Amino acid sequence: MFDWLIVGAGFAGSVLAERLATVRGEKVLVIDRRPHIAGNAYDHLDEAGVLMHRYGPHIFHTNSQQVFDYLSRFTSWRPYEHRVLAEVKQPGTGNTMRVPIPINLDTINSLYGLSLTESEVEQWMAERAETVDAIRTSEDVVVSKVGRELYELFFRGYTRKQWALDPSELDKSVTARVPTRTNTDDRYFTDTFQAMPAEGYTKMFERMLAHPNITVRTGVDYAEIRDQVPHRRVIWSGPVDEYFGFRYGKLPYRSLRFEHKTLDQAEYQPVGTVNYPAEEVPYTRISEYKHLTGQQHPKTTITLEYPSGEGDPYYPIPRPENQALYKRYEALADAQTDVWFVGRLATYRYYNMDQIVGQALATFNRIDASLPPEAANDD
Ligand code: FAD
């Protein structure tokens, strides 16, 4: 008899397994239908021996001391600040150029052959910004800050490829995630902690799950096991609509097809990720893992990301009707007594890894406060 059946061995499931086993001494079974632990953050050595991320590049960054300290129990870190270039056609010449994204002072100066200062570039952007009465869509966010030309160059095509929707049809939250800077800071993130697990994510998860009270079974779906393994309670980090048999219909997601390539050269591109915003290029970005991991190797591995309507659920589509559908599932989830819904799929929202760790730690605190520990052994 397990105290807990945890569905999903990603951040949500693994953090909760570790806390329940270590702090409350409870017996936990963690399952995942994929053939490995670590969920979307899974990394491994490919055939050539290059450490790569199967589900696209995962860069750890957080402002939470609590999350960083918690994960530091299971890994040491390699400092890493992610940098991204966008390959675009220079206005006027049509020449292909690579410039920093998020847009910063160097982006504007290189694109337009200018040598503006910080305060001059603010003025330059203000002159191009369009007046938008109420910012509602992803298009509004960008044109109101930097104007239409930069919007079309960097955001319109990228967003249309990524979401199969025009930015004018998408919630403002999508492009609001990408800031605009007037200084020369070319880091993709500005969080206090920016680092990669020194030996990779999967090794960190292995240590998290290496507890005598935790049993892990991969390649197993909840539907196969739910009636076979006795358990008292469930942590569900899979899709919330799946738990309820899709009774109100499927929650819509965008997916990605990953093309992984190992190349017979030590380096492919100068930074971790190059974005390709042009609509005629079928992929959105190419990432090269050795920049992230610091691995020395004569070969290199890259991943091209092709947005797709089919495949694993990655990005909830932020439209009001989808949120309304999720709310109906959330009401069902709230009414369950012995099932906790945690993680990006169970709460139908795009979250970074650190946010999921924070969510899982908070869920643990709620469980710990509401269930007496001896309840686990009261049969
Ligand atoms: P997951 O990691 O998806 O884990 C859920 C697990 O549940 C899955 O392994 C799944 O197989 C399993 N499961 C589902 N249903 C069942 C079932 N019925 N039976 C058994 N198992 C089941 N975040 C960052 O902080 N930085 C980044 O750079 C970053 N890059 C990203 C890039 C991409 C392309 C994507 C899609 C996401 C990225 N993220 C990034 C977000 C990050 O992946 C998530 O925050 C994190 O994976 C969420 O963890 P989770 O445990 O909620 O979900």
Asked whether 306 lines ligand 1 (CB < 6 A), one says no
Residue 347 has pLDDT above 60, yes or no: yes
Tell me which of 81, 353, 359, 364 to substitute to probe ligand 1's pocket, judged by most ligand atoms within 8 Å of the beta carbon.
Answer: 353
Model-level ipTM above the cut of 0.90:
yes
Contact 171, 137 (CB under 8 A): yes
Q: In what order do the strands lie in the sheet with 300-308?
A: 96-101, 84-89, 273-275, 285-288, 300-308, 253-263, 315-316
Q: Tokens 């009414």 belong to which residue?
A: 335
> Cβ neighbours of residue 228 under 8 Å, at least 6 residues apart?
none
Tokens describing residue 216? 């892990």
CA 199 to chain CA centroid, Å, is 20
Asked whether 62 lines ligand 1 (CB < 6 A), one says no
Name the band, by pLDDT with cuts 50, 70 and 90, for residue 376: very low
Give residue 217's pLDDT.
Answer: 98
Cα–Cα distances (Å) from 2 to 31, 131, 336, in that order, read 12, 59, 19
Shortest-distance atom of ligand 1 to CA 305: 34
Q: Tell me which DSSP letter residue 92 carries.
A: T
pLDDT digits (tens, 9 = 90+) for 156-199: 999 999 999 999 998 888 877 778 999 999 999 999 999 999 99
| CA-nearest residue, atom 6 of ligand 1 | 8
Please tell me the total number of residues recorded for the chain in this structure: 379
H-helix segments, 86-200:
105-112, 118-128, 138-146, 148-150, 157-163, 173-176
| CA-nearest residue, atom 29 of ligand 1 | 58
Asked whether 80 lines ligand 1 (CB < 6 A), one says no
Give residue 102's pLDDT.
Answer: 95
Residue 213 has pLDDT above 90, yes or no: yes
Name the band, by pLDDT with cuts 50, 70 and 90, for residue 319: confident
**What is the average pLDDT score of the chain?**
95
Q: Is the peptide bond before 179 cis (omega within 30 degrees of 0)?
A: no
Give residue 172's pLDDT.
Answer: 87
Tell me the domains of the chain and their CATH numbers.
2-71+198-250+316-377 (3.40.50.720), 84-176 (no CATH)
β-strand partners of 4? 28, 233
Residue 379 has pLDDT above 60, yes or no: no
Name the band, by pLDDT with cuts 50, 70 and 90, for residue 378: very low
Q: Which of 129-143, 176-190, 202-216 has the highest mean pLDDT?
A: 202-216
| CA-nearest residue, atom 47 of ligand 1 | 40
Instruction: Using a pLDDT cut of 70, give the percent of the chain over it.
Output: 98
Mean pLDDT of the 354-360 span: 98
Give residue 273's pLDDT.
Answer: 98
Give residue 173's pLDDT.
Answer: 83
Mean pLDDT of the 355-374 span: 92
Distance 324 CA to ligand 1 centre (A): 23
